[in-house]
Amino acid sequence: MSEKNVSNEARKSLCPEGVEAGSTKKGRQMKEKRKNRLRVLALATAMAITAGGLVSCSNSDEAASEEELTIGFVVHVIGNPFIQQIIDAAEMAAADLGVTIKVTGPAGAEGDAQLVAVQNIAASGVDGIATSVPSASMVNGLNEIIESGIPIVQFNGLGVGVNAPYVGEKSVASGRILGQMVLDKIGGTSAKGKVIVGNCYPGFPVLENRQKGVLESLSQAAGIKVVGPSDVKVDAAANFAAWQGLLAANSDALAMVGLCAPDVESIGKVNIAAKNTKTIGGGYDLTVGNLEALANGSAHISLGQTPFIQGYLPVYMLVDSIRKKIAINKAGFVDAGTEIVTATSVTEPFDLPALTFADLQAMATSKEKTRSYYEPVVQGYIKNWQENLKPISDESS
Amino acid sequence: MLTEFTPVLKVKKRFKLPEETSVVIALLILIAIIGALRPTFLKPVNLLNLSASYAIAALLAGCIVFLLAMGEIDLSFGWILNLSAVLAGLAMIAGVPIWISVFIGIAAGTAMGALNGVLTVVMRLPLIIVTLGTASIFQGTSLISNKSGSVVPTDKEITGHIFFRALGGQIDSPVPIILIFVVLAFFVLHLTLHKTRFGYRILAIGSNPEAARLAGIPTKKIKIQVCALMGGVSGVGGVLFLGFRGAVDPSTGGQMLLPVVAAAIIGGTPLSGGAGTVWGSLFGALIVGVIGVGVVFIGINAVWGTLVTGLVIIFAIGVDQIVRVRKKRFK
Q: Over the stretch B38-47, which tens digit does the pLDDT of each residue have?
A: 888 888 888 8
Q: Looking at chain A, which residue has its C-alpha nearest residue B200?
A: A1
Q: Do A110 and B251 touch (CB under 8 A)?
A: yes
Could you say which residues from 14 to 43 on chain B have a Cβ atom under 8 Å away from some Cβ of chain A?
Answer: 14-15, 17, 19, 21, 24-25, 28-29, 31-32, 35-36, 38-43
> Any idea what the CATH number is for the domain that residue A85 is in?
3.40.50.2300
A139 shares a domain with A115 = yes
Cβ contacts (< 8 Å) between A106 and chain B: which residues?
A: 255
**Candidates A14, A48, A117; nearest CB to B296:** A117
Distances in Å between the alpha carbon of A379 and those of A96, A309, A384? 12, 12, 8
Q: Do B275 and A109 touch (CB under 8 A)?
A: no
Distance in angstroms (rounded) separating the CA atoms of residues A185 and A300: 9
A218 shares a domain with A184 = yes
Range of the domain at A281: 171-304
A87 shares a domain with A196 = no
Report the DSSP pairing between strands A193-199 and A224-231: parallel
Q: State the Cα angle at A20 between A15 and A26, rounded to 5°.
A: 105
| A162 Ramachandran zone, left/alpha/beta (phi>0; psi -120 to 50) | beta
> Strand, coil or helix: what is A344?
coil
Q: Which residues of A310-325 are buried (b: 16+ CB within 10 A; e: fewer)?
A: bbbbbbbbbbbbbeee
Among A107-121, A294-308, B79-93, top mean pLDDT goes to B79-93
Which has the higher per-residue pLDDT, A281 or A26? A281
Question: What number is the average pLDDT over the span A153-163?
Answer: 90
Which has the higher per-residue pLDDT, A284 or B307? A284
Tell me, yes or no, whether A40 lies in a domain: no
Instruction: Tell me the nearest-neighbour CA distance from B307 into chain A, angstroms.
Output: 11
**Candidates A5, A111, A203; nearest CB to B149:** A203
Tell me, yes or no, whether A109 lies in a domain: yes
Q: Do A137 and B15 touch (CB under 8 A)?
A: no
Residue type, A252: D
Cβ contacts (< 8 Å) between A40 and chain B: which residues?
A: 25
Q: Flag whether residue B329 sits within 8 Å of chain A, measured between CB atoms.
A: no
Q: Do B143 and A203 touch (CB under 8 A)?
A: yes
Cβ contacts (< 8 Å) between B215 and chain A: which residues?
A: none
pLDDT-derived band at A21 (thresholds 50, 70, 90) equals very low
Distance in angstroms (rounded) separating the CA atoms of residues A34 and A269: 65
User: Could you read off the pLDDT of B195-248 as tens digits, one per residue?
Assistant: 999 999 999 999 999 999 999 999 999 999 999 999 999 999 999 999 998 888
Report the DSSP pairing between strands A128-131 and A100-104: unpaired
**Cα–chain-centroid distance for residue B260?**
6
Instruction: Tell me the nearest-neighbour CA distance from B5 into chain A, angstroms.
Output: 16
Report the DSSP pairing between strands A255-258 and A280-284: parallel
Contacts 24+ apart (CB under 8 A), A61-64: A62/A125, A62/B40
A162 shares a domain with A75 = yes
Tell me, yes or no, whether A49 lies in a domain: no
Instruction: Tell me the nearest-neighbour CA distance from A349 into chain B, angstroms.
Output: 30
Q: Do A2 and B28 touch (CB under 8 A)?
A: no
A186 shares a domain with A114 = no
A279 shares a domain with A185 = yes
A212 shares a domain with A155 = no
Q: Flag whether residue B180 sits within 8 Å of chain A, measured between CB atoms.
A: no
**Which of A2, A8, A31, A209 to substitute to test the interface with B, most B CBs within 10 Å?**
A2
pLDDT-derived band at A274 (thresholds 50, 70, 90) equals confident
Question: What number is the average pLDDT over the span B164-168?
Answer: 89
In this predicted structure, the answer to whether residue A196 has a pLDDT above a threshold of 50 is yes
Nearby residues of B329 by Cβ (< 8 Å), 6 or more positions away:
none
What are the structural domains, with CATH classification, of chain B? 21-325 (1.10.3470)
Distances in Å between the alpha carbon of A384 and those of A375, A379, A380, A389? 13, 8, 6, 9
A291 shares a domain with A183 = yes
Phi then psi for residue B154, to 5 deg, are -110, -15
Instruction: Tell me the nearest-neighbour CA distance from B132 into chain A, angstroms.
Output: 17
Burial of A36 (0-12, 13-18, 19+ CB in 10 A): exposed
A287 shares a domain with A385 = no
Instruction: Tell me the nearest-neighbour CA distance from B110 into chain A, angstroms.
Output: 23
A285 shares a domain with A314 = no
**Candidates A51, A106, A107; nearest CB to B32:** A51
Report the DSSP pairing between strands A346-347 and A339-341: antiparallel
Which has the higher per-residue pLDDT, A1 or B275? B275
A291 shares a domain with A392 = no
DSSP state for residue A381 in the 8-state scheme: I
Contact B279, B20 (CB under 8 A): yes
DSSP state for residue A254 in the 8-state scheme: S
Could you say which residues from 89 to 118 on chain B have a Cβ atom under 8 Å away from some Cβ of chain A?
Answer: none
Kindly report the three-state secondary structure assignment for every residue of A62-79.
Answer: HHHCCCCCEEEEECCCCC
pLDDT-derived band at A129 (thresholds 50, 70, 90) equals very high
Q: Do B148 and A203 touch (CB under 8 A)?
A: yes
Tell me, yes or no, whether A360 lies in a domain: no
Cβ contacts (< 8 Å) between A104 and chain B: which residues?
A: 295-296, 302, 305
Burial of B38 (0-12, 13-18, 19+ CB in 10 A): buried
Tell me, yes or no, whether A18 lies in a domain: no
Distance in angstroms (rounded) separating the CA atoms of residues A27 and A21: 5
Q: Do A16 and B292 touch (CB under 8 A)?
A: no
Tell me, yes or no, whether A71 lies in a domain: yes
Alpha-carbon torsion (B40, B46, B48, B53), positive or negative: negative
DSSP state for residue A283 in the 8-state scheme: E
In this predicted structure, the answer to whether residue A365 has a pLDDT above a threshold of 70 is yes
**Cα–chain-centroid distance for residue A44?**
38
pLDDT-derived band at A11 (thresholds 50, 70, 90) equals very low
pLDDT-derived band at B331 (thresholds 50, 70, 90) equals low
**Candidates A51, A106, A144; nearest CB to B36:** A51
Q: Flag whether residue B165 sits within 8 Å of chain A, measured between CB atoms.
A: no
A275 shares a domain with A189 = yes
Q: How many domains does chain A have?
A: 2
User: Could you read off the pLDDT of A211-259 as tens digits, one per residue?
Assistant: 999 999 999 999 999 998 888 887 788 888 889 888 888 888 999 999 9
Tell me, yes or no, whether A47 lies in a domain: no
Report the DSSP pairing between strands A301-304 and A339-341: antiparallel
Q: Which of A304, A323, A355 is the last residue of a domain?
A: A304
pLDDT of residue A65: 42
Q: Do B254 and A110 touch (CB under 8 A)?
A: yes
Phi then psi for residue A247, to 5 deg, are -70, -35
Contact B124, B70 (CB under 8 A): no
Tell me, yes or no, whether A342 lies in a domain: no
- The strand pairing partners of A225, in sequence order, are A194
Q: Which of A281, A304, A327 is the last residue of a domain?
A: A304
Calculate the average pLDDT of chain B: 88
Cβ contacts (< 8 Å) between B248 and chain A: which residues?
A: 137
Q: State the Cα angle at A135 between A131 and A140, rounded to 5°.
A: 80
Q: Do A1 and B200 touch (CB under 8 A)?
A: yes
